[in-house]
A and B are shown apart, each in its own frame.
Chain A
Amino acid sequence: MSGTRTTDRTGVAPRTGGPGIGESVPRPDGVPKVTGSFAFSSDLWHDRMLWGGTLRSPHPSARIVSVDIGAAVTITGVHAVLLHDDVPGSKAYGLEHSDQQVLAGEVVRHEGEPVAIVAADHPETVRRALDAIVVEYEVVDPLTDPAAAETAPPIHPDGNLIRRIHLRHGDQQVVGEVQVEGTYEVGMQDQAFLGPESGMAIPAEGGGVDLYIATQWLHADRDQVAACLGLRPERVRLTLAGVGGAFGAREDLSMHVHLCMLAMHTGRPVKMVYSREESFHGHVHRHPARMWYRHHADRDGTLVRVEARLLLDGGAYASSSSAVIANATCFAAGPYRVPSADIEGVVVRTNNPPCGAMRGFGAVQTCFAHEAQMDLLAGALGMDPVELRLRNVLATGDRLVTGQAITGTAPGAEVIRTCVDHPSAASIAEDPMALPGGAGRTADPAHVVRGEALAVGFKNLMFSEGFDDYSSAACRLADGVATITCACAEVGQGFVTLVQQIAHEVLGVQEVVLEPASTETIGSAGSTSASRQTWMSGGAVQKACEEVRARLLARVADEHGVELDGLVLVDGLVASLTGDLEVDLVSATSDPIHAEVEFRHAPTSPLDEDGQGDAHVSFAFSAHRAIVDVDVGLGLVKVVELTTSQDVGRVLNPVQVVGQLEGGAAQGVGLAVMEEVQLSDGRIRNASFTDYLVPTALDMPPVEIAALIEQPEPGAPFGAKGVGEPPTITSTAAVAAAIRAATGLALPRVPVRPSDIVFGGGAT
């Protein structure tokens, strides 16, 4: 099996089976997750609980003339029906700008915007009550074309321009001997986590509220919820409920304020679970993008200049659009030395569904475009596309188009070389199930052509542009057991495993207890996003453990009258290097030692008016090689094999790294050939797993891991870079390029649709 080969070749099997750094330590939540006993947010239960539900706008744009809840409140079993005027505090919230309505007031700005919320004794009663609410709308023509947004009448008091960055770098007059130009499009992708939005709010004594919720950042949620409830933040307590995947879709609030309002109004616990259809309306999506590029190069293939115009559709509310367009702009030219650049990134407001964070944000869209451009340029130069990339790829010391010099590791050339040198295991399909179209058995082998291509990309790790990015952690060592407290949201990535490994590595303890993540017990851990928690919360846990270790050694030195310098902590013993003192950890910590720390990465700077500045902390590179089979008559694609190399800094848990690389690639394959939130006049046409297609095991090829490039990153805990996003960035571009190689078509748009292949279509 391919998975086994991968494991053997790359040495990702457990090295010694130990519990420390670099080992494939099993997840501590693995057993409850396989037995079904792990409590996800949708499994919360309280014997007095009510069920909540949300009435959503059927219109992308409308004025609300009236709302009549008279019939709804009289239904037996209905305990509350609440509207805009019932929001006790701020009527709006948002990650970067408070522009999104908790409940719509005078207008609705996108299909699915919440208008009313209900609490009742049974979900069926909730549905009947929602049906009984009468909303009179005055429908307005929606603004759905992002290209028209800047000149259209504003659909929001904050205007239709969310952010424009005009990056100018180097000599603006320079022109390349060879130029290639293209226009590209990326469709709207959904995160499609499996665990639907869900949670429970419980009124607390003294007018506060406890909220159990699946999220990516407890403290940022807490602050927004408290503002909307008109409460001081300490009156709102958030505890992480089991998270069934996130991928960016849980960065924004969804039902949080609604649940708290219903609980506080009824005095009862209230639970809410979105249906899959509602989930498509209840969270932000990946920004659709239109991108124009012109690349300039010398005849020897040296890049001279990149011009680009990027337009992202932010939908009705800002969400994290400002950060997304910054990434798109900063990384628009790809992982290459580009001495001159003119890149304008614009994200606008429309009446389409709000867009925000999804794995690899900003870089996913531009990687698809810049890699298509590199292949186009290679063609124009008559040069091998791999050679063109190797000639220009960034290395440590090189400058980005933002003017920032890379001071950390940047093994761009290494990821390319190892990926292309890796032998392919792909064979020609004989079983019809393995042909394009799969179980439909529609492909004619005579019409199937194979293509192969490479894509390279990179992205920043952690928060940028001067953001005060930190994580908090505490370690308490008592009777030889380490108890770690950290509010880092475990969303499936495996932070809970790393905590065990880090505490063992630093303290030599066999037993590590991780307290529930909560706003009550510790400060913010920051967001589980931007590939940042291994570095940030991993770093915070490491720092807290190291502080405990230092105090432990000082205590033993003091109690036994020995020199601190001569003491080490090894295998659960504090020992002197001279060998005349050994104190076991259990007795040395009968009086507990506690340390609480904040961990920050190196500071960053804002971008100036030319998009220049040291805005980012660290970068991770990846490459994918895709092999595809295409039935050119039917336009069907089978992704046969993906091979990848990734810059990981250092592998902390091999099997978890592999899981991130495989899972991230699957989301990239989805965007390349099947996944798109389809819109018509601002309405989502495919809000279900029947119509929004997520790759199955038959769609997903084996992922061959050619190399995990381990060049420890200065400043990162144990040298480890975050690994979650790069796999999603380059896999889409590689698959699209392989389809181009197979068909000879331009295919400037993803997802590539059968009609694009059959009729040679693409970007509008």
Chain B
Amino acid sequence: MSIDPYALTVNGREHEISEGWPGESLLWVLRERLGLPGSKNACEEGECGSCSVRLDGEIVCSCLVLAASAVGQEITTVEGIAPDGTLSDVQQAFVDAGAVQCGFCTPGLVMAIDVLLDSDTDPDDLTVREAISGNLCRCTGYGRVIEAVNLAAASRRGETDL
């Protein structure tokens, strides 16, 4: 079905949405219309954080955002946080720390940690746990994920290289 077109700015590129259903969520549009399936669909009710993206810098669950309401905002997904063929510090830390198992929660966690470290490069354990408590992971028990945060934080403080 065709709709009144609207434009979304995703990872620095403008996309016109002219097909579909006007009630589609941002998660749906990213995954099914823009070919960006990195944001995941584990609960679609804002509980698991696997669909986390940045909207003008703030972390949101894209499953709870009406796509058409994000017009004019800067949307950043996991596909857009590092230039093609490279990894961001948080992504590299996940690989190095063994924080990836099935990987379904990983993109959302990467986004949440990216937001955390933008404001605090030396978070204590409770701060880290609170910052990722909106992201459910069923495989890791969070141990290696927290290790990855520590690796990435140390890198941002300039203490180590990733």
Does B120 make an interface contact (CB < 8 A)? Answer: no
Complex: how many Å from CA A43 to CA B136?
19
Does A680 make an interface contact (CB < 8 A)? Answer: no
Stretch at the interface among B2-10, B65-73, B91-99: B91-99
Contacts of B146 in A (CB 8 A): 1-3, 697
Complex: how many Å from CA A195 to CA B134?
16
Does A679 make an interface contact (CB < 8 A)? Answer: no
Contacts of A656 in B (CB 8 A): 98
Q: Contact between A244 and B141 (Cβ–Cβ < 8 Å)?
A: no
A474-532 contacts to B (CB < 8 Å): 491-494
Contacts of A243 in B (CB 8 A): 102
A26-B98, A688-B43, A700-B141 given as contacts; is B105 within 8 A of A35 (CB)? no
Q: Contact between A434 and B77 (Cβ–Cβ < 8 Å)?
A: no
A422-454 contacts to B (CB < 8 Å): 431, 433-434, 439
Chain A proximity of B1: nearest CB distance (Å): 8
Contacts of B144 in A (CB 8 A): 3, 655, 658-659, 662
Contacts of B95 in A (CB 8 A): 26-27, 30-31, 34
A: residues with CB less than 8 A from B are 1-4, 6-7, 24, 26-27, 29-31, 33-40, 42-43, 45, 122, 124, 191-196, 242-247, 273, 275-276, 431, 433-434, 439, 491-494, 655-656, 658-659, 662-667, 688-690, 694-698, 700, 702-703
Q: Contact between B142 and A697 (Cβ–Cβ < 8 Å)?
A: yes
Name B's interface SS: loop
Q: Contact between A34 and B139 (Cβ–Cβ < 8 Å)?
A: no
Residue of chain B at shortest CB distance from A7:
B147
Q: 7 shortest A-B CB distances, which residue pairs? A: A36-B38, A492-B102, A33-B103, A244-B104, A666-B141, A655-B98, A662-B141
Q: List 8 A-B contacts (CB under 8 A).
A: A27-B98, A35-B78, A194-B104, A244-B40, A246-B102, A433-B130, A696-B129, A697-B145
Partner of B143 from A196, A244, A694, A702 at Cβ < 8 Å:
A702
Q: Contact between B45 and A194 (Cβ–Cβ < 8 Å)?
A: no
A30-B95, A35-B91, A662-B143 given as contacts; is B100 within 8 A of A667 (CB)? no
Does B62 make an interface contact (CB < 8 A)? Answer: no
Contacts of B132 in A (CB 8 A): 696-697
Residue of chain B at shortest CB distance from A492:
B102
Taken residue by residue from 19 to 44, chain B's Cβ proximity to chain A (1 for < 8 Å, 0 otherwise) reads as 01101000000011000111111111
Chain A proximity of B96: nearest CB distance (Å): 7
Partner of A689 from B39, B47, B101, B133 at Cβ < 8 Å:
B47
Q: Contact between A36 and B39 (Cβ–Cβ < 8 Å)?
A: yes
Complex: how many Å from CA A431 to CA B124?
12
Complex: how many Å from CA A243 to CA B39?
15
Does B74 make an interface contact (CB < 8 A)? Answer: no
Partner of A662 from B21, B36, B142 at Cβ < 8 Å:
B142
Given contacts A27-B95, A38-B103, A667-B138, 4 further A-B contacts (CB under 8 A): A2-B146, A34-B92, A659-B139, A703-B141
Most chain A beta-carbon neighbours within 10 Å: one of B134, B141, B142: B141
